[in-house]
């Protein structure tokens, strides 16, 4: 009986070691995937920041980040402002979407990669 218990203990120990190795490998794969996601978010951060500064009035940076509704709001506001500029009143509104884009571009580029990811990808904060 005691020999059977020893064999059973060895089998349990061997199974636990195999399970620990499997968990280590899974954790390593998960860490690599998380790093790839953060690396791709860094590229998205830079792209969104530059587009916000250059084409901010058209809302292109919002579409890059996946905020379609907010992108259409900026685009629509810009189009209406340009149309109304023919009647002079739109001249007062043309600068607003561009200013929003400039501010958001600066904010995007000054945030750390992790803070940008948590704020705009996980937290889904659409404005500023």
Q: What are 95-109's pLDDT values in tens digits?
A: 899 999 999 999 999
The reported pLDDT for the residue numbered 102 is: 94
**pTM listed for this prediction:** 0.63
Judge whether 28 lies within some domain.
Answer: no
Rounded to whole angstroms, how far apart are CA atoms 50 and 42?
12
DSSP 124: -
The reported pLDDT for the residue numbered 62 is: 93
**Number of folded domains in the chain?**
1
Element (H, E) at 2: helix 2-55
Low-confidence residues of the chain: pLDDT under 70? 1-13, 15-16, 19-20, 23-24, 26-43
Domain of residue 70: give its range: 37-122
Judge whether 24 lies within some domain.
Answer: no
């Amino acid at each position: 009986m005691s020999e059977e218990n020893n064999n059973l203990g060895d089998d349990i120990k061997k199974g636990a070691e195999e399970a620990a190795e499997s968990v280590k490998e899974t954790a390593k794969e998960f860490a690599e995937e998380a790093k790839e996601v953060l690396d791709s978010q860094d590229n998205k951060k830079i792209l969104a920041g530059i587009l916000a500064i250059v084409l901010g009035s058209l809302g292109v940076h919002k579409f890059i980040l996946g905020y379609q509704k907010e992108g259409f709001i900026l685009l629509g506001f810009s189009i209406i402002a340009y149309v109304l500029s023919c009647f002079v009143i739109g001249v007062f509104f043309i600068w607003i979407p561009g200013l929003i884009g400039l501010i958001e571009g600066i904010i995007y580029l000054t945030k750390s990669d992790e803070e940008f990811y948590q704020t705009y990808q996980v937290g889904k904060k659409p404005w500023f």
